[in-house]
Each structure stands twice: as C-alpha cells, then as structure tokens.
Amino acid sequence: MSFSVELLDIKDVALLRPKKFFDTRGYFLEIYSTRDYAAAGVECVFVQENQSLSIKSGTIRGLHFQRPPAAQAKLVRVIRGSIFDVAVDLRIGSRTFGRWCATKLTAETAEQLFIPRGFAHGFCTLEPDTEVAYKVDSLYSPVCDGGLRCDDPILNIAWPVSPAAAIISEKDRLLPLFKDFESPFKFSNS
C-alpha cells in the first residue's frame, strides 16, 4: 500500500498519509489508487474534483454537506499551504452524533482526509494563498446543498482563529445553527 491510515476521534473519518519516494530530482507519491483505497475501506467512486484558493490565512470555508440523494463522501488534500480540517458527524443514531474531529493537512506532507457521507465539512486556512482540492463521490446538486454555521455554540469547534478575525463568506454566515437542524442522515453499522 502506498500510504498509511490513521482513524481520527470519529472512527469513520480517516487520515491517509502517502509515502513519498525521494531521489535527486525531488519526490514522487501516489495520490490515489482505487485498489489501495478500497483495501483501506475507502470504497467510493469519485465523480467530481473541486479546488479552492483562499488568499488570506484565517479563512473559514464551511461547514458544508450535500443532503440525500446527492450526499457526498470527500477526499480532501492541500495543494499549497495548510489547513485545519474539520468533520462533524450528522448521522442520527451514531454515538458521535454532533461531535467534530479535526486534523492539520499540509501541502508539504500531502496527507488526505477521508470524510464519509453524513458529515459536514469545513476548514480554516493556516497560511496565505492556500489551495485545497477534494474529490467527491456524488455530483454537486444545488437543491441538496446544505450547511451549518462554523461558529455554532453547540458544536463549539476550536478553530485556530478568533470569530472576530475569521474571514467567512456571507452565505456561510447565514447558515443555520445545529439546534435548528434536522438531519437527513442515519447511522448504519453496515
């Protein structure tokens, strides 16, 4: 396998660390392999890849998700810079419902975060000019677009930037609070 896997505090969220192979020219690494990812439990067929650029550090994007029938699993990586990456469990019946976990992703180390369906996702940039790319296993659907406020007091995410200093889009500022959210996601042990 061309990477190692670490399960985060919410076991269905996985940090994938690729192996870099160095020589005098630089390095090589395998970003994605259907075979190896399936062996690690990531059995998605990714159908779309997105990329964002955040010019300033302290930019928060999220917390975003897609409702069924267009729910999305995501495989997130940083192309330039670094982020504090967050996944929030929205699956009713999960013992971790309403909890979040986070990790730092950097372009230098090339880690990837796998976030299954039923989670909200967001990140905060830790450096200027940070570029993030992520694969999803369902095409974007505007009618299924959803989200929660990143500064939700119930979720109480420990962002690495103060609310006053965070750069947040107007759309994200108007997202609902967790207490007003009716989750369309159900937990399944299968």
Q: What is the largest CA-CA distance in the chain?
A: 55
Q: Which of 49, 73, 69 lies closest to 143, judged by CA?
A: 69
14 CB-contact burial (10 Å; exposed 0-12 / middle 13-18 / buried 19+):
buried
Active-site residue flag, 64: yes
* pLDDT on residue 125: 98
Q: How far is CA 71 from CA 13, 65, 144, 186, in A?
A: 16, 7, 8, 12
3-state helix, strand, coil in the chain (%, to 5): 10, 40, 50
Distance CA(174)–CA(185), nearest Å, equals 22
Q: Decide if 134 is catalytic.
A: yes
For the chain, the domain total comes to: 1
**Domain boundaries, position 103:** 3-186
Neighbours of 81 (CB within 10 A): 20
User: Given this model, what pLDDT does residue 157 score?
Assistant: 98
Give me the half-sphere count of Cα atoms (radius 13 Å) on the Cβ side of residue 99.
12
pTM over 0.85: yes
Q: How far apart are the first and last CA of the chain?
A: 24
Q: Three-class SS of residue 5?
A: strand
- The one-digit pLDDT tens for each residue of the chain (190 residues) are 677 888 899 989 999 998 888 999 998 988 888 888 888 888 899 999 999 999 999 999 999 999 999 999 999 999 999 999 999 999 999 999 999 999 999 999 999 999 999 999 999 999 999 999 999 999 999 999 999 999 999 999 999 999 889 999 999 999 999 999 999 999 987 5
* CATH code: domain of residue 111: 2.60.120.10
Give residue 30's pLDDT: 87
Residue tagged active-site, from 32, 37, 64, 140 = 64
pLDDT at 169: 97
Catalytic residue from among 32, 37, 121, 134: 134
